Amino acid sequence: MNEARFKQNVAFTVLGALTLLIVIPILLVIVYVAINGAGAISWSFLTEAPRNGMKAGGIFPAIVGTILLVIGTMLFSLPLGVLSAIYLVEYASDNLFTRMIKLSVVNLSGIPSIVYGLFGFTAFVILLHFGTSILAGSLTLAIMSLPVIITASKEALESVPFAYREISFSLGATRWQTVRYCVLPYAIPGILTGTVLSLSRAAGETAPILFTVAAFYLPRLPRGAFDQVMALPYHLYVISTQVPNIPLSLSFATALVLIALVFLMNLVSIFLRAHYRKKRLW
Amino acid sequence: MKRLWRRISEPIIELCIRLSGIVVVIFVFLIFLFLLRYSLSLFRHSPLGRFLFGHQWLPISDPPQFGVIPLLLGSVLVTFWAVVICVPLGVGSAMFIAEVAPKAIKNVLKSFVEILAAIPSVVLGFLGIIWLGPVLRDTFHLSTGMCGLTGSLLLAFMALPTIISISEDALTGVPRSYREAAFGLGATRWQTLWRVILPSASPGIVAAVMLGIGRVVGETMVVLMVTGNAPVIPTSILQPLRTLTATIAGEMGETVGGSEHYYALFAVGLVLFVITFIINLIADLFLRRARK
Amino acid sequence: MVSEPVMQTFGLNCYFGSTHAVKNVSIEIAHNEILGIIGPANSGKTTFLRAINRLNYLQRSYSQTGEILLGGQDIRTINDNLLRKKIGIIFALPQVLPVTIFENVAYGPKVHGITGKETVSRIVEEALKKAYLWEEVKDRLQEPAVRLSGGQQQRLCIARTLAVEPEVILYDEPCSGLDPISTAKVEDAMQQLKADYTQILVTNNTKQASRVSERCAFFLMGELVEIGPTHDLFTKPQDTRTDDYITGRFG
């Protein structure tokens, strides 16, 4: 075997080893949490409220809270994100202002989640007097989710063949009519996939909801949008760091439920992507 | 009647679309403005220099000290070690996935990376407390496992998906003609990868690393939970320390609205904002160059 | 009897960035004529055609100088949407929307505010008949349009253009992807439409131009070299360049 070949085998083996070094811990993490947490998962765990200062009982309010936050985030971020993407793809011309918008999207995606928490706290909780509430938390998470939704929607819109727009314009349709009838319907799969992915991330975030919505121990369900709520990520954080002597299986179970929820949403997004790729009309 | 509705509704819709376009810019400005305004409230009491260069972060002493250096160094140290670990791992994996792995395995590997990206940071923090911390404590004979290294390891793990996916994009984006030219000259796959593809993809890989760094600097929950609670200038990665992000998250609940401490945390937020802004700017520049 | 031209261009220049695609073209187009435009590739024929219904403006680098008049009125004073209703276009490759045959033809009337199932159905049927497609599709209007053959799709494009009741119809090398039978059907349709519409046909195929058009214009590298009755242009061209192109010395 000549020298170049030998070097190649060594190099490729090293690269493979590095990859394995990443893949194995991923598997271990999932398995570790699953094994240790599965024992405590039961119907009552999922549907009851916590008792005894969180040392017993279930996590139902936290599950509900997370779901409510996800819905709230979607309500604010989806329309705004899609409309922004429509502007960027269909209306904006190639000028400095457009580049500023694109740069802002990149910047928004790089801002640390705790800074979003600070902003959400001052803007929504204090200034707009929403108080720590589902509303404040959803708005904060929505701004955080905007870049992902905008980027995914942009890609979806740009992938629609230009011919459709050309046909529509050549028949005398206005720009909005063209977008509404000949572009948007065909971009919806991509938009949906990106939205679900973005929401799955929002579901797992803790920092933005620390000061804007999360409640420490609230064993009842929320009474409205201006009410506080428990949330799975925050709950896991609190029982790991601030509640002594909690049965470890409960903590693992909480982690497992959180991971399961996030993974479920990811799977939905992947399924949507594959499903619509098959049905593609062009 | 319907025609009249159409005449009115359409300009309104188009106005909403145009406004939505600006909204993103407005949010960036607003966030910056809010941070700035509250930071300025701090700088009225204790001057900017003492904040930026002060060596002590003692919010509850009398008088309180708000020097950001311990926190900054905490972030820098944790980030440094995280980067040292995740860049070779990440870029190496990207190379493996893009150029070496056969197609079937490639998709499996990419799925794994997506799975990793989906794990919430609080879960990793939890595992750091339960498992990784004690392991490191016993391995290095430390007094506590809640130290910088625990954080760096977990942060490296978290930044991997970013680095891997963007690097992989950069590598597969290298034009086929480059590869074919190299093969035509008799190069092996490895030689092609190392001497032709990697250099050609380097702007994209640099961007990937920068974005990974940005991710690490901005991470809150993991460092809050595992790096200990010691806002002092760190002397070693094996000691407890405090990052910028953990400070805000950890102390915000203890401040009184309108107090100096309260404003100081916003100033820390401003520092974070500026750092990540610059990192993202640089990354974006490299990404543009990569696209050409 | 001299009738008013339906369209006129004066000193039209078209630019894509710094590329000067159409140079100083002035043409008059008479009512109900079929004007052929011939010339080699990149001679500016398509750009000229698409300048007439302002479709070039979909490209961000486009600019133009000179005037284009429709019925004596500068087209810049006419709303783009109304202009494109009056001037329809058939593209080179048949492009259909991914919806049913019926919906393809009904799209034009829909965006111009025509509602009412009866009205729209009637319009669709008339348009398909005028395009010589009705007999072939009348029983499958709810099928996806992409299932039609190339020639049928192209006639569908004609139908959808007719459905908005244009005055002028532009054709941009409409038969370039079609077999001879489909081509013949499209050319038949054009002849029948002559009575009610003015048509401009850009084509790479000189034989088609001589079959279909009454007047013909020869474009070369963005310039209008010669224009005249088709028969004269082909038998006794006045410019040597025209002669060279027609006899095939270059193509």
C146/A281 Cβ within 8 A: yes
Measured distance CA(C170)–CA(C164) in Å, rounded = 14
pLDDT band at A1 (very low <50, low <70, confident <90, very high): low
Tell me which amino acid residue A270 is: I
Closest by Cβ to C97, choosing from A94, A164, A177: A164
Measure CA of the first residue to CA of the last residue in chain A; give whole Å: 49
Between the two ends of chain C, the Cα-to-Cα distance in Å is 37
Q: What is the nearest CA distance from C112 to chain B, expressed in angstroms?
A: 9
B28: nearest CB among A30, A108, A203: A108
Given a cut of 90, whether residue B75 has pLDDT beyond it is yes
Question: Do the domain assignments include residue C2?
Answer: no
In this complex, is the C-beta atom of B2 within 8 Å of any C-beta atom belonging to chain C? Answer: yes
CB contact under 8 A, B3 and C115: no
pLDDT above 90 for A177: yes
| Residues A149/A77, Cβ–Cβ less than 8 Å | yes
Residues of chain A positioned with their CB less than 8 A from the CB of C98? 164, 186, 281-282
CB contact under 8 A, B6 and C113: yes
Taking the CA of residue C213 and the nearest CA in chain A, the distance in Å comes to 23
Count the domains in chain C.
1
Coil vs helix vs strand at C31: coil
pLDDT surpasses 70 at A262: yes
Residues 6+ apart with CB under 8 A from C136: C152
Nearest-5° Cα angle at C114, C111 to C120: 110
3-state helix, strand, coil in chain C (%, to 5): 40, 25, 35
Across the interface, whether the CB atoms of C95 and A94 are under 8 A apart is answered no
- For the record, the structure tokens of C214 come out as 């009454």
C chain contacts of residue B4, beta-carbon cutoff 8 Å: none
Interchain pair A240, B126: CB under 8 A: yes
Report the chain C residue with the minimal C-alpha distance to residue B2.
Answer: C113
> Measured between CA atoms, how close is C229 to chain A, in angstroms?
29
Are β-strands C215-220 and C34-38 bridged in parallel, bridged antiparallel, or unpaired?
parallel
Min CA distance, C113 vs chain B (Å)?
Answer: 7
Q: Left (φ > 0), alpha (ψ -120 to 50) or beta: where does C142 sit?
A: alpha
Contact B276 A113 (CB under 8 A): no
CA–CA distance, A155 with B150 (Å, rounded to integer): 38
Q: List pLDDT tens digits, range A203-254.
A: 999 999 998 987 777 777 778 888 888 899 999 999 888 887 888 888 999 9
3-state class (DSSP) for residue C222: coil
Using the Cβ of A279 and the Cβ atoms of chain C, whether some distance falls under 8 Å is answered with: no
* Cβ contacts from A onto B, under 8 A: 239
β-pair partners for C100: C144
Q: Touching A: which chains, 3+ CB pairs < 8 A? A: B, C
- Please list every residue in chain A whose beta carbon sits closer than 8 Å to the beta carbon of residue B256: none
Both structure tokens of C59: 């490209």
| Nearest by Cα to A236 from B125, C81, B108 | B125
For C60, which of A94, A167, A182 is closest by C-beta distance? A94
Backbone angles phi, psi at C14, to 5 degrees: -120, 135
Per-window interface: A 127-156 vs B, CB < 8 A: 143, 146-147, 150
> Contacts by C16-24 with C-beta closer than 8 Å and gap 24+?
C16/C47, C16/C59, C16/C61, C16/C62, C17/C61, C20/C222, C21/C47, C21/C222, C22/C47, C22/C48, C22/C51, C22/C64, C22/C222, C23/C221, C23/C222, C23/C223, C24/C66, C24/C223
Q: How far apart are CA B134 and CA B131, in angstroms?
A: 6
Contact (CB<8Å) A103/B160: no
CATH number of B57-291: 1.10.3720.10
A119-123, B41-45, B232-236: which is most confident: A119-123
- In tens, the pLDDT along B106-123 reads 989 998 999 999 999 999
**Cα of C123 to nearest chain B Cα, Å:** 19
Residue B59, both tokens = 């919010």
The three-point CA angle C223-C227-C228 to 5° equals 175
Q: Is residue A281 scored above 70 in pLDDT?
A: no
Using CA coordinates, name the residue in chain B closest to A112.
B218
Q: How confident is the model at residue B232 (pLDDT cuts 50, 70, 90)?
A: confident
Please state the rounded mean pLDDT for residues C171-177: 90
Please answer whether residues A251 and A240 qualify as being in contact, where contact means their C-beta atoms are separated by less than 8 angstroms.
Answer: yes
Residue numbers in A near B214 (CB within 8 A) = 110
DSSP assignment of C179-210: -HHHHHHHHHHHHHHTTT-EEEEE-S-HHHHH
Which residues of chain B from 210 to 229 reach within 8 Å of chain A, CB to CB? 211, 214, 217-221, 225
Nearest chain C residue (CA) to B7: C113
Instruction: State the pTM of this model.
Output: 0.90
List, as ranges, residues 36-65 from B with C-beta within 8 Å of A: 38
Closest chain A CA to residue C82 = A172
Q: What residues of B are in contact with residue A62 (Cβ under 8 Å)?
A: none
Across the range A17-35, mean pLDDT stands at 92
Shortest CA distance from B146: residue in chain A? A241
pLDDT at B235 over 90: no
- A115 vs A208: CA distance, rounded Å: 8
Mean pLDDT of A19-35: 92
Contact C19, C64 (CB under 8 A): no
- What is chain C's mean pLDDT, rounded? 90
- Say whether residue A1 is in contact with chain B using an 8 A CB cutoff: no
Residues within 8 A of C (CB atoms), A 119-148 only: none
d(CA C76, CA C9): 12
Ranges assigned E (strand) in chain B: 57-58, 65-66
Q: Tell me the two tokens of residue A69.
A: 């936050």
Domain for residue C86, yes or no?
yes
CATH code for the domain of C177: 3.40.50.300
Q: Which two tokens stand for residue C106?
A: 């009904």
The region of weakest confidence among A34-43, A78-87, A203-212 is A34-43
- Beta strand C168-172 with C198-202 is parallel
Contact C68, C54 (CB under 8 A): no
Q: Is C66 a member of any domain?
A: yes
Contacts of C115 in chain B (CB under 8 A): 2
CA–CA separation, B148 and B236 (whole Å) = 8
Per-residue three-class SS string for C46-105: HHHHHHHCCHHHHCCCEEEEEEEEECCEEHHHCCHHHHHHHEEEECCCCCCCCCEHHHHH
Spell out the SS3 assignment of chain A: CCHHHHHHHHHHHHHHHHHHHHHHHHHHHHHHHHHHHHCCCCHHHHHCCEECCCCEECCHHHHHHHHHHHHHHHHHHHHHHHHHHHHHHHHCCCCHHHHHHHHHHHHHHHCCHHHHHHHHHHHHHHHCCCCCCHHHHHHHHHHHHHHHHHHHHHHHHHHCCHHHHHHHHHCCCCHHHHHHHHHHHHHHHHHHHHHHHHHHHHHCCCHHHHCCCECCCCCCCCCCCCCCECCHHHHHHHHHHCCCCCCHHHHHHHHHHHHHHHHHHHHHHHHHHHHHHHCCCC
Compute the nearest-CA separation of B73 from chain A (Å).
17
Calculate the CA C26 to chain-centre distance: 18
Contact A7/B at CB under 8 A: yes
What are the DSSP E strand ranges found in B195-292?
none
Best CA proximity match to C68, nearest among C146, C13, C144: C13
As given in the structure block, the two tokens for residue C170 are 């532009």
Report if residue C1 sits inside a domain: no
> What's the whole-number average pLDDT of chain A?
90
Residues of chain A with Cβ-Cβ distance to B18 below 8 Å are: 87, 91
Q: A165 pLDDT band (50/70/90 cuts)?
A: very high
Q: Is C161 on the interface with A (CB under 8 A)?
A: yes
Q: B90 pLDDT exceeds 50?
A: yes
Q: Which residue has the tokens 């797992």?
A: A204
- In this structure, what are the phi and psi dihedrals at residue B240, rounded to the nearest 5 degrees? -65, 145
ipTM of the complex, rounded to two decimals: 0.91
The yes-or-no verdict on residue C2 having pLDDT over 60 is no
Q: What ranges do the domains of chain B cover?
A: 57-291
**DSSP per position, B76-129:** HHHHHHHHHHHHHHHHHHHHIIIIIS-HHHHHHHHHHHHHHHHS-HHHHHHHII
Tell me which residue of A230, A77, A85, A196 sits closest to A139, measured CA to CA: A77
Report how far residue C62's alpha carbon sits from residue C59's, in angstroms, rounded to the nearest whole number: 6
Q: Is B148 helix (H, G, I), strand (E, B) or coil?
A: helix
B163 lies within 8 A of chain A by CB = no
Q: How far is C77 from chain B (nearest CA, A)?
A: 19
Alpha-carbon distance C16 to nearest alpha carbon in chain B (angstroms): 22
Q: Do A258 and B123 touch (CB under 8 A)?
A: yes
Token reading at C119:
């009205």
C248: closest CA of chain A, how far (Å): 33
Distance CA B129, CA B212 (A): 23
Q: Do C146 and A164 touch (CB under 8 A)?
A: no
pLDDT tens digits, one per residue of B126-176: 999 999 999 998 998 888 888 889 999 999 999 999 999 999 999 998 988
Which residues 6+ apart lie within 8 Å of C219 measured at CB? C25, C37, C38, C39, C43, C44, C45, C48, C225
Checking if the pLDDT of C1 tops 50, the result is: no
Q: Quote the pLDDT of residue B1.
A: 60
Give chain C positions within 8 Å (CB) of B3: 113
User: B22 — contact with chain A (CB < 8 Å)?
Assistant: yes
d(CA A248, CA A55): 10
Q: Rounded to whole angstroms, how far apart are CA atoms C130 and C157?
A: 12
- Of the listed ranges A6-20, A31-45, B207-221, the least confidently predicted one is A31-45
In this structure, what token pair is assigned to residue A107? Answer: 């910047």
For B13-70, the pLDDT digits (tens) are 999 999 999 999 999 999 999 999 999 988 887 788 888 888 888 888 878 888 899 9
Give the mean model confidence (pLDDT) for residues C26-38.
91
The distance of B195 to chain A (nearest Cα, Å) reads 12
Report the DSSP pairing between strands C87-90 and C168-172. Answer: parallel
The pLDDT-based confidence of C3 (bands split at 50, 70, 90) is: low
